[in-house]
Amino acid sequence: MNTNPKPSAQALTSRNHVLQAENLCKQVSSPEGALTIVDQVSLEILAGESVAVTGPSGAGKSTLLALLAGLDLPTRGRVLLEGQDLTRLDEDGRARLRAQRVGFVFQSFHLIPALTALENVMLPLELAGRGDARRAAAETLRRVGLSERTGHYPRQLSGGEQQRVALARAFVTQPAVLFADEPTGNLDTVTGARVGELLFELNANAHTTLVLVTHDRELAGRCARVVRMDAGRVL
């Protein structure tokens, strides 16, 4: 059952923008000269909206995600996250804003091998100085069905379980925006479908804006909007 019904256009327009990209360009040097990876992309994403970014490999999807999240800076253009211009912040300022307002889920789980599932989920809360880190982490792991695995290390968990820990870590801070880059790409079909269900359940419950890069048509189809890219441009 679809736990993330698509909101009406009227409902969406009544919300505030959480992300705005204005004429984003990203160029890198290559032996052949400057290579444009993202080319004049402008987007507006509303609070609580779910947006899938799709397109062929090499279209610039992951680079766009990194620019929107402030993990990388554009060659030209700017990104506003909740009204703050990321291009005007230094790296420390962008890192603080990400820690407070942004969550990430990647194709590779990026769990810390030396920490248990519970400790991995506690980490962003502890870095933020939260006194309730253990309780909040345990509750979030319960919501993704891992109450019995809190003391296990990543190597003791299946791929699907590791991605559920990564989901719990991303959502435990209740971010304004969650960026997910091919979150089911390393999982089999059944496990990927379950992780997708959890992604949208947590998104709906937390009222978090979701920006999702995926090749999975079914996952993309559950988003309120699909943005297709090719050769660095939004089609």
* pLDDT for residue 27: 93
Helix axes 159-171, 133-143, angle to 10 degrees: 130
CB under 8 Å to 35, separation ≥6 — which residues?
A: 27, 28, 29
Structural domain boundaries enclosing 230: 47-69+89-234
Q: Does 95 map to a domain?
A: yes
CB 184 within 8 A of CB 219: yes
* pLDDT for residue 43: 93
Q: Does 5 map to a domain?
A: no
Q: Does 126 map to a domain?
A: yes
Q: Does 76 map to a domain?
A: no
Q: Does 31 map to a domain?
A: no
Amino acid (1-letter code) at residue 3: T
Q: Does 204 map to a domain?
A: yes
Q: Does 19 map to a domain?
A: no
Per-residue pLDDT of the chain (235 residues; tens, 9 = 90+): 444 444 444 444 435 889 999 999 999 888 888 889 999 999 999 998 999 999 999 899 999 999 999 999 999 999 999 999 999 999 999 988 888 889 888 888 899 999 999 999 999 999 888 889 999 999 999 988 899 999 999 999 999 999 999 999 998 988 899 999 998 888 888 888 888 888 888 778 878 899 999 988 888 999 999 999 999 999 8
Q: How far apart, in whole angstroms, are the C-alpha atoms of residue 162 and residue 229?
A: 29
**First-to-final CA distance of the chain:** 30
CATH for 177: 3.40.50.300
Burial zone of 40 (CB within 10 Å; 0-12 exposed, 13-18 middle, 19+ buried): middle
Q: Does 200 map to a domain?
A: yes
* pLDDT for residue 13: 41
The number of domains in the chain is 1
4 three-state secondary structure: coil
* pLDDT for residue 190: 85
